[in-house]
Amino acid sequence: MPGITREEVAHLARLARLELKDEELDHFATQLDDIIGAVARVSDVADEDVPPTSHPLPLTNVMRSDDVRPSLTPQEALSGAPAQEQQRFKVPQILGED
Amino acid sequence: MTDLIKLTAAEIAAKIASGEVTAVQVTEAHLARIEAVDEKVHAFLHVDREGALAQAREVDAKRERGEKLGPLAGVPLALKDIFTTKGIPTTVGSKILEGWIPPYDATLTRKLKEADVVILGKTNMDEFAMGSSTENSAYGPTGNPWDLTKIPGGSGGGSSAALASYEAALAIGTDTGGSIRQPAAVTGTVGVKPTYGAVSRYGMVAFSSSLDQGGPCARTVLDAALLHEAIAGHDPLDSTSIDAPVPPVVEAARNGDVKGMRVGVVKQFRGEGYQAGVLQRFDESVELLKELGAEVVEVDCPSFDLALAAYYLIAPSECSSNLARFDAMRYGLRVGDDGTKSAEEVTALTREAGFGDEVKRRVILGTYALSSGYYDAYYGSAQKVRTLITRDFEKAFGEGGVDVLISPTTPTTAFPIGERADDPMAMYLADLCTIPTNLAGNAAMSLPCGLAPEDGMPVGLQIIAPAMADDRLYRVGAAVEAAFNARWGHPLLEEAPSL
């Protein structure tokens, strides 16, 4: 089983939208390498005939009739927003200038 | 009046129903206790003094009007800060939600209010329920009331510490890998992880959705059962909620008896890494069960040896996905929005500032385990382990013919604050005995079984039952509790030093 490098941690942090500091990268790379070394044992049982279990309950889609029911008011829904404008969530720019 | 804080929840409810005391008096006594000791214990993140007194006044008014009161009416409760509370801050122990006031109640919060339980406030916890010591709270650690220099267990350390310090008569926790049972064990209190799906997860901030389960914390088995009945039941707002009757847990707690029961001792839960005093108290519990008329047999669950490894892949994987919602757009903290940065950059800066170390560690680990190329080796294999663990349980409860399994709840007693803070693998070992139950979805309880001779700290006995047989936990737990209390001459918690 491969270990994890500092570069990989930096890449994963970018994927996970975490702007880690340099000292965090060093710190986490060592710790994550240890943790992954310890948890990699699970692959010892990777037998073809063992089916995976993703959830303790058999999940089925739950449907209900499409009735209008009371819900949060726009004010309530926006009440925790860091910024809002014209009854909408205001977000930083999503598309670049060009 | 100070005696009011020493009463059990059942006693408090009876005294309020009979008019011997008012709910306001009981609430005031607990608020005074919080004021006197919480600076030292730090069980609470937020105390809702006015709200609690208003709820108490409403209970007293109901009684005066002659309306029927529920079995827990007027009992003060401490609520883990992972459940949303309308109009009351909910932080999940994280800076990223500092100051957030939810616009809605979790189903569990609503049920507590409908049961006329008095909610005193929100309790401290490891950030997003990730941890085994309550040291990962962004708001500072909680102390163990038995020894304030030691951890109260995690992630629901605040809830159990509030009970052990008599700041609340009842509390609510959530258990993803042991976060109800483990704090109960190290604080000398009772904690139950109900069957997965028994208590609604609606409004409970998600950490690992296939493992998370809310449940009762109390000082007695009967109190836990009364609270279990108040919060359990089907919820149409939660697609994972079980649509079946709640097992008769209160009846079972009132009729504790193990005569003729077959109790399995899990072979895998002892040996290396276990404190001698913990094993000694556990062995005494086994002898006690035999004296009470149970048949005790050894049970082999070989896959349990891989449970910790599977858990520390599955839980981080689900957390990395669940915590993606903290993107600085709709609620919570926003950092770096100076008009020059993109939404993506603001999200990354906010998450860096708002999440603590353990959360970051798990988000990265989960992102890794789910990434292309590693998915089958890690997440896929962990899910296979989950199947094998479920089969081990099925074999024990099926052809093995055991009614319940028992083990120590934690391999050691409470350790000093800071001792394992920078060693994640050492910290994860605290969850060794509790995790298989979360992976399989069945039910388990921890209750006190004595003090470890070497450090005088509480030891927990874990009882595990099949899914939907939660009442068995209470039947066995009540019998063990009564026998131990008779032996000690009082509940274990009375031996805790006064704060």
The 10s digit of each residue's pLDDT in B303-326 is 999 999 999 999 999 999 999 999
Section B352-363 average pLDDT: 98
Residues B357-390 as b or e (16 or more Cβ within 10 Å = b): bbbbbbbbbbbbbbbeebeebbbbbbbbbbbbbb
pLDDT in tens, B451-488: 999 999 999 999 999 999 999 999 999 999 999 999 99
Q: Is there a domain that residue A85 lies in?
A: no
The answer as to whether A24 is a domain residue is yes
Q: How far is it, in rounded angstroms, from Cα B423 to Cα B429? A: 10
- Residue A19 and residue B425: Cβ atoms within 8 Å? no
Q: Is A18 on the interface with B (CB under 8 A)?
A: yes
**Is residue A29, in this structure, part of any structural domain at all?**
yes
Contacts for A85 with CB less than 8 Å, ≥ 6 apart: none
> Which of B137, B155, B159, B285 is the catalytic position?
B155
Q: Does the pLDDT value for residue B235 go beyond 60?
A: yes
Strands (E), B158-207: 170-174, 190-193
Q: Does B39 contact chain A (CB < 8 Å)?
A: no
Q: Report the chain A residue with the minimal C-alpha distance to residue B387.
A: A53
Which A residues, 22 through 61, put their C-beta within 8 Å of a C-beta on chain B?
24, 28, 31-32, 34-36, 38-47, 50-57, 59, 61
What integer is the mean pLDDT of B139-158? 98
Of B256, B213, B184, which is closest to residue B474 (Cα–Cα)? B256
Interface contact A69, partner B, CB < 8 A: no
Q: Is residue A71 situated within a structural domain? A: no
Residue B161 pLDDT class (50, 70, 90 cuts):
very high
Would you state the torsion angle of the CA atoms of residues A85, A89, A92, A93, taken in this order, to the nearest 10 degrees?
A: -90
CB within 8 Å: A32 and B342: no
The whole-angstrom separation of Cα B214 and Cα B172 is: 7
Chain B residue whose CA is closest to A33? B365
Contact A91 B345 (CB under 8 A): no
Residue A92 carries which side chain, given as an amino acid letter? P
Q: What is the mean pLDDT of chain B?
A: 97
Which residue of chain B has the CA closest to A80? Answer: B331
Distant-in-sequence, close-in-space partners of B313: CB < 8 Å, separation ≥ 6: A39, A42, B365, B369, B378, B379, B381, B382
Alpha-carbon gap: B347 to the closest alpha carbon of chain A (Å): 6
Interchain proximity A43–B381, CB inside 8 Å:
yes
Q: Average pLDDT for residues B428-435, to the nearest whole number?
A: 96
And the tokens for B52?
């609690």
Dihedral angle sign, alpha carbons of residues A63, A64, A66, A71: negative
Question: Given this model, what pLDDT does residue A98 score?
Answer: 58
Q: Are B239 and A59 in contact (CB under 8 A)?
A: yes
Hey, is the C-beta of B242 within 8 angstroms of any chain A C-beta?
yes
Q: Is A66 on the interface with B (CB under 8 A)?
A: no
Mean pLDDT, chain A, rounded, equals 91
Pick the residue of B92, B326, B381 with the most A CBs within 10 A to test the interface with A by mutation.
B381
Chain A, chain B: beta-carbon pairs less than 8 Å apart: 180
pLDDT over 90 (residue A96)? no
Report how far residue B386's alpha carbon sits from residue B275's, in angstroms, rounded to the nearest whole number: 27
Known catalytic membership, residue B132: no
Distance between the two ends of chain B, CA-based, in angstroms? Answer: 17
Dist. CA B213–CA A55, nearest whole Å:
13
Please indicate whether residue B159 is annotated as part of the active site: no
Q: Which alpha helices (H) appear in B370-469, and where do they start and end?
A: 381-397, 424-428, 435-440
Residue B350 contacts residue B359 (beta carbons within 8 Å): no
Structural domain contains residue A38: yes
Contact assignment for A38 to B425 by CB distance below 8 Å? yes
- A59 found inside a domain: no
The verdict on a CB contact (< 8 Å) between A59 and B239 is yes
- Identify the band that residue B2 occupies on the pLDDT scale cut at 50, 70 and 90: low
Confidence (pLDDT) at B1: 45
Contact B163, B8 (CB under 8 A): no
What confidence tier does A18 reach under pLDDT thresholds 50, 70, 90?
A: very high
Q: Measure the CA–CA gap between B111 and A77, rounded to whole angstroms.
A: 22
**Residue A39 maps to a domain:** yes
Number of compact structural domains in chain A? 1
**Residues in B touching A19 (Cβ below 8 Å):** 345, 348-349, 351-352
| pLDDT, tens digit, 9 for 90 and up, residues B10-50 | 999 999 999 999 999 999 999 999 999 999 999 999 999 99
Q: Where does the pLDDT of residue B248 fall: very low under 50, low under 70, confident under 90, or very high at 90 and above?
A: very high
Band of residue A47 on the pLDDT scale cut at 50, 70, 90: confident
Query: Which one of B132, B133, B165, B179 is the catalytic residue?
Result: B179
Domain that holds residue A27: 6-44
Contacts of B359 in chain A (CB under 8 A): none
Q: Give rounded-to-5 percent helix, strand, coil for chain B.
A: 45, 15, 40
Domain membership flag for residue A89: no
Establish whether B321 is a catalytic residue: no
